[in-house]
Chains A and B, each alone.
Chain A
């Protein structure tokens, strides 16, 4: 039996801090998103429609890491305001059905996005037409928005907030400001 030999080791560089979770492993491609928030109508129709709570649903697909295509639906409920008229105080809904092109900038767990949208906005009753604010219940609309998302430890889930402004051509050229907070699941 010989004498025990001394162990030798050499540290050449400190180990790199590992990102956990690794953003490169986040799910990517088809996604759906649910959102809650509010729609505020601005402009000529704005003084006749109260801000209303909104429920949104989005289905999208990441074409690249920085570009996605989306189909969005947002429904909101509003109360009419026509002082001293029988149409005052009635409920109506606005449904936004939009296509969107979304540009993403990703930094670690954060995604900052901007989007352009086009589609239609449908009013559920003819009340605004009676008061001369629209001639058709379905109108073209277009606009854009900004958002920021935070990716969770799960590779599928992200939370985010989004604000968008739509110009509704047939609603006395009014605008709809949509502000929502949502959760996204990427398959």
Chain B
């Protein structure tokens, strides 16, 4: 009977521990709400997520992996750091209207800034193609009524796509960047016929993609509106910064498209 008691206690402990084995996310609020007056001026905020630097063992492992694969393996890996952006949009105006919500961002290697992209086209005396944001939230079919509140999320899959697109453009010189941004991959690292994922024409197979550490939502509308946002981070390997850690301060290169004049 004592064995039954030990089994009972072990089963209880196992059930309790299994219930407790969750990957607890951390949340980063936007520095301030994005608020527009409906006069055409875009609002944007840049949110930098806090990560720690690798310790010597982790850095050695990263460098070994880089030597093995033949390219620089990121410290913040897309398959270990999972992002989601949750937003709430409120129509503060007195007429119904839609909105534009784009997201730019930066990995530890490359930053995508649509202002810089637009400036490059202006410098070349050309119109910048659309889309320009790293990700575009699709507005609802029905415009927001006055006072209406819309809640939504840019999901982890969307961020994986952004991370692939940014790396393909920034490190692997994928041509035709509007196509890279438009076409969706299947998000698992394999090209699909349906998506015609142009990213994979230049990236190595089984690419270890860098995760975004900087996120810049850009918001606009023809009516006064407010957009509040929050980024959720699931960190599989404890790479988020905590008190006492040395903070990672990447210095990514800003992406510049290759502009070919016809």
Contact = CB atoms under 8 A, between A and B. Distances in A.
Interface of A: 32-34, 55-57, 59, 73, 75, 84-90, 92-93, 95, 124-127, 130, 156, 185-187
A92 B26 CA distance: 11
B228 A85 contact: yes
Contact of A32 (B5, B26, B87, B151): B5
Contacts of B8: 32, 34, 185
B203 to A, nearest CB: 32
A156 B5 CA distance: 8
A127 B12 CA distance: 29
A34 B12 CA distance: 6
Q: Which 6 A-B pairs have the closest CB atoms?
A: A86-B230, A34-B12, A86-B86, A32-B9, A124-B24, A57-B16
Contacts of A88: 88, 151
B25 interface: yes
B230 A125 contact: no
A87 B19 contact: no
Interface in B15-47: 15-16, 19-20, 22, 24-27, 29
A80 to B, nearest CB: 10
B1 A84 contact: no
14 contacts: A32-B5, A32-B12, A73-B16, A75-B19, A84-B149, A86-B87, A86-B88, A87-B27, A95-B20, A125-B24, A126-B26, A130-B27, A185-B5, A187-B2
Given A57-B16, A75-B19, A93-B20, A85 B88 contact: yes
A125 B87 CA distance: 18
B50 to A, nearest CB: 12
B229 interface: yes
B1 A156 contact: yes
A41 B152 CA distance: 27
A131 to B, nearest CB: 9
B136 interface: no
Contacts of A32: 5, 8-9, 12
Given A32-B12, A156-B1, A185-B5, A87 B230 contact: yes
Interface string B210-234: 0000000000000000001110100
A135 to B, nearest CB: 14
B90 interface: yes
B69 interface: no
Nearest to B88: A86
B234 to A, nearest CB: 10
B253 to A, nearest CB: 31
Contacts of B86: 86-87, 90
Contact of B27 (A56, A59, A127): A127
A86 B16 contact: no
B27 A126 contact: yes
B13 interface: yes
Given A126-B27, A185-B9, A86 B19 contact: no
Contacts of A34: 8, 11-12, 15-16
Given A55-B15, A185-B9, 8 more contacts: A85-B228, A86-B87, A86-B88, A86-B228, A87-B27, A92-B24, A95-B20, A130-B27
A124 B12 contact: no
B217 to A, nearest CB: 11
Nearest to A53: B19
A112 B90 CA distance: 54
Nearest to A123: B24
Contacts of A33: 12
- Of listed A56, A86, A125, residue having the most chain B CB within 10 A: A86
B25 A75 contact: no
A85 to B, nearest CB: 6
